[in-house]
Structure 1
């Protein structure tokens, strides 16, 4: 696969047009707005950056890196273990439903793409009961031979972009504010991606109590736009 085609595949994976429903989730950000923790561009940027640095970057990103290695090695037992670990790490019912729904949608997309290069991904995903979104995403990235650092950068960017889009709707913020937030977050992503590749599994951590509380409280929020 040429470098140009790898880049095109990576852009496809990171695109908000990927039909997995990511745009319908805020991951607790909507409750943070409702409760007054997020009120403007500055507080939205702080919330998203802190979560990326201390939560996504220290657990989800290194897990995606490990999953890519397992997919590349064809280690189905390790893929199943990491998939189960991620599902078990979801602190609220909405968070677990989110990753399972997006994993289900991504699994369906793998079939619908009809790409012979994804045959092993399709068969391995079929052997799993509930599929976490990072599991399927890492499988696609590995099968398309995307470099791990580039894949992690795109994964983090896609997550950050979805968070910013949620903030634009929920706070609300203007388009220029959204672009400033993305520029700031984009500047942080390369370092987070590099650190994620070096972090041993024993040091992975998603200990972010405010995030977990926000996700749990969103489940009973009276008026809301997002599913998490």
Structure 2
């Protein structure tokens, strides 16, 4: 595990473990255990950028898209928190979520090693995997915005070279992989932050469409936590031959949304 990923994990373990330790430790030990773990300058910068890039406030326009959820609500497939959770669970583990994670992992590794041929092939394959015109619009528009904003706010010559090597449209997971690799952000935290951002946006769309309250939305996010973690692990160990999905209803939803009569979202 890289230093940054290990530091993040250590910080989480120490922070969550303090309440139990305080109940059984001597007062003198409590102060020592409560001391925060210190990040190096590079680790702090990497974490800061990752949190910024995958924050809901990062302006890639994600709020404009629902990934077909809008049609699923109208069709009655999603009607409450439980059905939204089930729908998103399938999208994560058996559909677009897993595939996007695989593309992110492979593009991150190709960028880290400077493999121009792999960069071009993976970027092209990732674009071809969009199941509908609207899904391609969604992922390519966000990818382009992610690249443009990152380049303007955090200029990086290596990133320009990686983009040129892709030689074509760059979809969202590919953009995240390229930018994070160029800035030395490790794959594991990037993967899990990416999935958190994607799932949070899906839930936000569902909350507005069903509609759901804030508490129910957070319950759905909490319920999806183990699936996000497991899908992240699977994506990081999968080969490109493992790509594929079985969420046909979700793919149909993204196609039907193109002709849906009333729409709040672009996909």
* TM-score greater than 0.5 by the shorter chain: yes
1:192 and 1:149 map into 2 onto residues whose CA distance is 12
| Structure 1 residues 183-222: aligned runs within 5 Å | 183-222=222-261
Whether 1:119 aligns to 2:157 is yes
Q: Deviations over 1:15-65 (max 9, x none)?
A: 011111111100000100000000001101110111101113431111110
Give the deviation of 1:4 after TM superposition: 2.3
Confirm or deny: 8 A CA contact 2:139 2:171 kept in the other structure: yes
1:204 and 1:36 map into 2 onto residues whose CA distance is 29
Q: Deviations over 1:161-209 (max 9, x none)?
A: 0000001101110000111111111232222111111112211113321
Note the aligned Cα RMSD (angstroms): 1.5
1:181 corresponds in structure 2 to 220
TM-score normalised by the chain length of structure 1? 0.94
Give the deviation of 1:126 after TM superposition: 4.1
1:169 and 1:64 map into 2 onto residues whose CA distance is 28
TM-score normalised by the chain length of structure 2? 0.81
- What secondary structure is seen at the aligned counterpart in 2 of 1:38? coil
Whether 1:108 aligns to 2:159 is no
Structure 2: tracts of 5 or more residues without a match: 1-40
Whether 1:12 aligns to 2:52 is yes
- What secondary structure is seen at the aligned counterpart in 2 of 1:16? coil
Q: Deviations over 1:130-150 (max 9, x none)?
A: 221222111111122222111
- What secondary structure is seen at the aligned counterpart in 2 of 1:123? helix
Q: Pick from 71, 76, 86 the counterpart of residue 111 of structure 2.
A: 71
Confirm or deny: 8 A CA contact 1:110 1:122 kept in the other structure: no
Confirm or deny: 8 A CA contact 2:60 2:142 kept in the other structure: yes
Structure 1: tracts of 5 or more residues without a match: none
Confirm or deny: 8 A CA contact 1:107 1:122 kept in the other structure: no
- For the pair shown, the structure with the greater C-alpha radius of gyration is 2
2:206 and 2:97 map into 1 onto residues whose CA distance is 20
Point out 4+ residue stretches in structure 1 off by more than 6 angstroms: none
Higher relative CO (Cα under 8 Å, sequence separation at least 6) belongs to: 1
Confirm or deny: 8 A CA contact 2:124 2:168 kept in the other structure: no
Give the deviation of 1:159 after TM superposition: 0.6
Bigger drift between 186-195 and 9-18 goes to 186-195
Q: Pick from 68, 77, 81 the counterpart of residue 37 of structure 1.
A: 77
Count residues in correspondence: 226
Bigger drift between 203-212 and 213-222 goes to 203-212
